[in-house]
Every structure is written in C-alpha cells, then in structure tokens.
C-alpha cells in the first residue's frame, strides 16, 4: 500500500481522494449526531402538544375516553427506580471497593469479567430472572420484582465506576491515612471514599438513567396498572410501560399521550446524563 512510486505518479488524484475520504468520515459523524437530533426534536415537537398540567397530575382514563394523564406511571417509576438504587448502591460500591483495594489475582479478575459481561446481558433476560425469582413463587406481579431486575441492571455500571473512582485516589492518600494508625474501615470510609465520591455519584446517576428508560423487564415484573399504585409489593404503574402500551394501541389520543410520556422520559434521562457529566465530573486532580 505504501509505495512511493505509485503515490508520486498520481499526486493530484491522491489529494482529491483523501479529501473525499475525510469528508466521508465527517459526514458519518454528522449523520450520527443528526440521528439524535432527529429523534429528540421529533419527540419534543410531538410531546410538547401532549404535556400539560392535567397530563402530569391525572390518572389514565378508561379506553375510549380522551384525556387523562400518566401521574401514576411517573410516581410508580420513581418508586421502583429509587428502590433499585437502594438495593444496588451498597452492593455495587462495596464490590467496586473490593476490586480497587482488596481483590487480587484470579478472584478479582473473575469478578471484573463477570461484571463486564453482565453489562451486556439483555434486560429482558434479567426481567425473566426477576420473574422466576419473585413473581412466580408469589403468584402476582410486583414493583419489588421490577426493582430487583433494575438493581441487577445497574450493578455492572456502579461496580465499574466505583472501582475506577476508588482506584484514582492516589496511593499516597491511602498510605497517609494508614500511617496515622487509622483502621482499614476508617481509612476507607472517611478518607478514600469521600475523595472518590464525585466519580461514584456520576456512576450512580448514569446507572439510574440507564434503568429509568427500561421497559422490557417491566412487562412481567411491575406489569403496570391504571390505578394509583404506591405499594411496591403489588403490581405498579410504570411510565415506560404506559408509553409502550399507548404506542401500540389503535387510538389517536393514546398515541398523543405516548409522545407526551416519551418527552418526559427522554428529558429526565438526558438531564441525568448531563448532570452526571458536567456537575459531578469534578476536576480530576485537586491537589
């Protein structure tokens, strides 16, 4: 390929071809960015017409009646996601601490590997897991089973970001703490974890954003409900489920509401992502 003779023969042609090549790469990058704008723009365009105070505060109306809202779905989603965060955070952060500070050799490598691989397991398979574990034995759907599925989905990201956050605290800081005669527990929780906190929170926010939009596992865990549902041991309304059901329904007014729900969901997820990136992504080295 790199052959001077060939290249010298056709200098002008090579320049043109190179320019076209570079142009093509730029075109593809713009195309990818445009895809986001196309989706985002259309969702906001359609959604803005559906979202109003009633949409945010009312329950769904029965089939055939127009109007109504997704208030129960929003509240239901907030509850399941919050529960999932409560389950996943201690488990994920502690596992991350294990990988960064204590785990060595094959054991740590295996945990890291499993965590990486788990992040690629389809959410629907994890939903089935939650079903066989928490729905089938109790013979009814529940918000808790959805939270467990969410928690499993959140774990890989929390583990990975916590490990990296803790690992990025300089070794000198850790030695400084131990040299004072601090116990391992105190040096970890009072010195190392506080120093790693912004990055850990970034990971948490991103993992929340990841599950907030999940729909597939909800189908057979939270199941959905047209009523007010605040008890996580029972079936619960969920915003993504409402969007899905409205979208594939034959009713014009439900399509409108699907767009409204989609706008709320996408804005929430984007705000979480951007907050994670810019607010908590603290300057790396404050020393």
Residues 194-213 that bind another protein (CB under 8 A): 194-195, 197, 209-210, 212-213
Of 76 and 240, CB closest to another protein: 240
Of positions 55, 150, 220, 254, contacts another protein by CB under 8 A? 220
33 touching another protein, by CB under 8 A: yes
The DSSP output letter for 62 is P
Of positions 48, 56, 86, 180, contacts another protein by CB under 8 A? 180
- Of the candidates 181, 225, 10, 195, which has an alpha carbon nearest to the alpha carbon of residue 101? 195
Instruction: Work out how close the CB of 120 gets to another protein at its nearest, in angstroms, rounded to a whole number.
Output: 4
Q: Which stretch binds another protein (CB under 8 A): 55-63, 67-75, 182-190, 225-233?
A: 182-190
Of 110 and 231, CB closest to another protein: 110
Considering only residues 107 to 136 of the shown chain, the ones binding another protein according to CB under 8 A are 107, 110-111, 113-126, 128-129, 131-133, 136
Of positions 39, 54, 56, 279, contacts another protein by CB under 8 A? 39
The DSSP output letter for 59 is P
Greatest distance between any 2 Cα atoms in the chain? 77
Instruction: Work out how close the CB of 17 gets to another protein at its nearest, in angstroms, rounded to a whole number.
Output: 7
Of 19 and 230, CB closest to another protein: 19
255 touching another protein, by CB under 8 A: yes
For residue 60, give the 3-state DSSP assignment: strand
Of 71 and 134, CB closest to another protein: 134
Considering only residues 63 to 92 of the shown chain, the ones binding another protein according to CB under 8 A are 90-91
In Å, how far from its chain's centre is CA 154?
7
The rounded distance, in Å, linking the Cα atoms of 35 and 275 is 22
Considering only residues 146 to 175 of the shown chain, the ones binding another protein according to CB under 8 A are 152, 155, 159, 170, 172-175
CB contact at 8 A, 88 and 151: yes
Of positions 58, 234, 249, 273, contacts another protein by CB under 8 A? 273
Based on its alpha-carbon atoms, the radius of gyration of the chain, rounded to whole angstroms, reads 24
* 264: exposed, middle or buried (Cβ count in 10 Å: 0-12, 13-18, 19+): buried
CB contact at 8 A, 164 and 199: yes
The rounded distance, in Å, linking the Cα atoms of 282 and 287 is 12
284 touching another protein, by CB under 8 A: no
Partners of residue 236 on adjacent β-strands: 223
């Amino acid at each position: 390929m790199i052959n001077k003779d060939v290249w010298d023969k056709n200098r002008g042609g090579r320049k043109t071809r190179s320019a076209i090549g570079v142009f093509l790469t730029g075109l593809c990058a713009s195309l990818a960015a445009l895809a986001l704008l196309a989706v985002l723009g259309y969702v906001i365009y359609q959604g803005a017409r559906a979202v109003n105070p009633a949409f945010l505060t009312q329950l769904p109306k029965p089939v055939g009646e127009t109007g109504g809202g997704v208030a129960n779905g929003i509240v239901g989603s907030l509850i399941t996601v919050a529960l999932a965060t409560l389950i996943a955070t201690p488990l994920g952060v502690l596992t991350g601490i294990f990988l960064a500070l204590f785990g060595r050799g094959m054991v740590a490598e295996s945990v890291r590997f499993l965590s990486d691989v788990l992040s690629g397991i389809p959410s629907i398979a994890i939903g089935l897991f939650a079903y066989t574990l928490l729905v089938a034995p109790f013979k009814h759907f529940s918000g808790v089973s959805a939270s467990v599925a969410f928690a499993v989905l959140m774990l890989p990201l929390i583990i990975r970001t916590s490990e990296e956050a803790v690992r990025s605290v300089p070794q000198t800081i850790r030695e400084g703490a131990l040299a004072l005669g601090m116990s391992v527990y105190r040096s970890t929780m009072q010195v190392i974890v506080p120093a790693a906190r912004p990055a850990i929170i970034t990971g948490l926010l991103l993992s929340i954003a990841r599950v907030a939009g999940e729909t597939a596992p909800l189908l057979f865990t939270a199941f959905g409900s047209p009523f007010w549902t605040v008890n996580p041991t029972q079936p619960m309304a969920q915003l993504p489920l409402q969007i899905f059901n409205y979208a594939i329904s034959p009713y014009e007014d439900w399509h409108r509401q699907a767009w409204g729900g989609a706008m709320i969901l996408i804005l929430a997820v984007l705000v979480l992502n951007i907050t994670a990136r810019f607010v908590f992504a603290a300057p790396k080295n404050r020393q």
